[in-house]
Amino acid sequence: MLELLKFNSRIWFFLGFLGCVFLLAMGAYFQFVGGLDPCPLCISQRIAILLTGLVFLSAAIHNPGQTGVTAYAIVGAVTALCGAAISTRHVWIQHLPPDKVPECGPGLEYVLQNFPLFETVKLMLSGTGDCAKVDWTMLGFSMPAWTLLAFLMLASLSLLQIWNYKAGDR
């Protein structure tokens, strides 16, 4: 039974890339069709999903040997875990009492135009009052909670490729 799931690492990396494409498509759907405006932490999570997807796509196209698979797996896991850290902060902000929620800052477009890049990134990663608003839930979990789960699954998928690699994979 497990042999049926033992694809080569190239296929698994490509499936991880497709998962990232799906997550980005869902974010675009909720924004443009559902009318939900993303907060700075949502944008940061999308960037982390994009970076993770690019690592997975690079690994699938490159189809490296064991050393390369290990390197891609580690880089993919690191980008996914960075995204998981952002999602964790977002979930934490959403669970703060109303009087402890950070104040809403200026819009992202304004910050990008008027502040240096480092300050913009710092603002995006710190979150604002907008980040505390829960606009959507499924099974009682908010979108950042589901995104956290997705990041943890992507990191696991990535690291599992280290042990999944077979000499005949190339």
For the cut 80, the answer to whether the pLDDT of residue 24 exceeds it is yes
Residue 27 belongs to a domain: yes
Amino acid identity, residue 102? P
53 or 107, which is more confident: 53
Closest CA to 49 of 167, 170, 168, 143: 143
For the cut 90, the answer to whether the pLDDT of residue 147 exceeds it is yes
Amino acid identity, residue 80? A
**142: part of which helix (H) or strand (E)?**
strand 141-142
Instruction: Tell me the pLDDT band of 5, cut-offs 50, 70 and 90.
Output: low
What pTM did the predictor assign? Answer: 0.81
Residue 1 belongs to a domain: no
CATH number at residue 71: 1.20.1550.10
Count how many domains the chain has: 1
Query: Distance between CA 81 and CA 85 in Å, rounded?
Result: 6
Residue 73 belongs to a domain: yes
Residue 139 belongs to a domain: yes
